[in-house]
Amino acid sequence: MILSIETSCDETAAALVEREEGGVRVVSSVVSSQIALHAPFGGVVPALAAREHAKNIVPVIETALREANISANHIEAIAVTGGPGLSPALRIGIMAGKTLSYLMEKPLLPIHHIEGHIYANTILPSQASPHSSEFHFPLLALVVSGGHTELVLVRTHFAYEIRGATEDDAAGEAFDKVAKMLGLPTQAGPEIARRAEIFRALPEKERSPAPEFPRPMIDSGDFRFSFSGLKTAVLYFLKKNVANKESDHFIEAVSFAFEEAVLETLLAKTRLALETFQPATLTVVGGVSANTELRRRMRALTQTQFPGTHFMIPELRYSLDNAAMIGAAALFRFERMSDTHKDRARALWKTLGADPNLPLGAYEECLATS
């Protein structure tokens, strides 16, 4: 069993996970969100996030242990997000992980946040079902979160090739910025999605014409993304139509048009990547993958146009930031580590630091497989 910790942004999270036939079982998973705290500032304030993590980290770990109802000697290792993320925020989780590792004399496994998002797929569904969560390689992962938009080809466990990424804003960042322009709450991907859904559900004759926004780089023929031009197009449109900004129907139409532009771009690039790499599995991970319409279209794309490709997506609660996904990645790392590497990981509490720009595939030297 592994105790895992995640504090890279505005969620304080801890979990206990264990390896089971076919995947990872979550014994307990606790997430304490700070969304409401940062809302008045229109974005996550790093120093404020760190203060909240410092206040909540021990109670969150304590709750995870209590809910799991296990004694501490069942824990074989401690896992913690080492980056990327906000340094002051990451540091709180890392400090907690280092302290536990030192006192319990257990290996400390630093995990890349995006690796965690990818391994959220290995978490077994809560209801008993014959579903297997093992990976079939090569696996293509569309990573869409607040900080990342990239297509990652995973050849085998922990062997990542980033085949394309955003040139400017991440998809989630665009959702958050457009939400702010529309006066919706921050971290408002879900709020834009909700408004877009209202518009989408209207019969054609009851819809006002929705604006058409650009789909930057959609035809670039490669795997690069760009969302800042789209964001600017929304900004100009809102400036021109300032009188309508109070109308719910107007906000729903803009949310719909914006969401369509993002989804169509993500779909087009993913389709090209599926044709190019012919992966055994497609997965969509990161906070934006909580978007219902994106989940629906990606599943449909795979089923209708790439029937030989297996589609995987984490359960909704493990798509958003959580610690169970960090523990899941750590379990797969841990079972492949040699005794020498486990010994080294037992001493990592002395040196591990936060890395806000950690590259995917880092830590290979300390977590390397035998």
Q: Interface residues with Zn ion (CB under 5 A)?
A: 145, 321
Nearer to ligand KG4, 106 or 259 (CB): 259
Supply the angle between the helices 292-305 and 248-277 in degrees, to the nearest 10.
30
| Dihedral sign (CA 323, 326, 328, 330) | negative
Between residues 12 and 145, which has the closer beta carbon with respect to Zn ion? Answer: 145
- Residue number with CB closer to Zn ion (9 or 337): 9
d(CA 239, CA 305): 40
Which residue number, 191 or 321, has a Cβ lying nearer to Zn ion? 321
Closer of 8 and 133 to ligand KG4 (Cβ): 8
Q: Which does 189 bind (CB under 5 to 8 A by kind): ligand KG4, Zn ion, none?
A: ligand KG4
Nearer Cβ to ligand KG4 (27/294): 294
- Residue 284: left (phi > 0), alpha (psi -120 to 50), or beta? beta
What are 62's two structure tokens?
């304590």
User: Which residue bears the tokens 């790499």?
Assistant: 277
Question: And the tokens for 66?
Answer: 């209590």
DSSP notation for 163-222: EEEBSS--HHHHHHHHHHHTTPPSS-HHHHHHHHHHHHHS-GGGSPPPP----TTTTSSS
Distances from the Cα of 51 to the Cα of 7, 12, 93, 146, 355, angstroms: 11, 11, 12, 21, 19
Contacting residues toward ligand KG4, per CB under 6 A: 9, 145-147, 172, 175-176, 187, 189-190, 193, 286-288, 290-291, 320-321
The interface partner of residue 193, options being Zn ion, ligand KG4, none and the CB cut-off 5 to 8 Å by kind, is: ligand KG4
The item of Zn ion, ligand KG4, none sharing an interface with residue 288, based on CB under 5 to 8 Å by kind, is ligand KG4
Closest distance of CB 237 from Zn ion, Å? 29
Distance CA 360, CA 83 (A): 9
Among Zn ion, ligand KG4, none, residue 23 binds (CB under 5-8 Å by kind): none
Q: Enumerate the H helices of 202-338 as residue ranges.
A: 228-240, 248-277, 292-305, 316-319, 324-334
The option from ligand KG4, Zn ion, none interacting with 175 (CB < 5 to 8 A, set by class) reads ligand KG4
CB of 356 to ligand KG4, least distance (A): 12
Taking each helix axis from N to C end, the angle separating 171-181 and 248-277, rounded to the nearest 10 degrees, works out to: 170
Minimum distance, C-beta of residue 50 to Zn ion, in the bound complex (Å): 17
Report which of 311, 253, 265, 247 is spatially closest to residue 285, judged by C-alpha positions.
311
CB 198 to ligand KG4: min, Å: 14
Least distance to ligand KG4, CB of residue 143, Å:
9
Min dist CB 69 to ligand KG4, Å, is 28
Which entry of Zn ion, ligand KG4, none binds 77, CB below 5 to 8 A by partner kind?
none
Cβ(146)–Cβ(287) under 8 Å?
Answer: yes
187 binds, among Zn ion, ligand KG4, none (CB under 5 to 8 A by kind): ligand KG4
| Nearest residue to the partner ligand KG4, using Cβ | 287
Nearer to Zn ion, 176 or 321 (CB): 321
Q: What is the DSSP letter of 105?
A: T
CB of 291 vs ligand KG4, minimal distance in Å = 3
255/302 with CB nearer ligand KG4: 255
Q: Nearest distance from residue 189's CB to ligand KG4, in Å?
A: 2
Q: Tokens at residue 128, please?
A: 């008993």
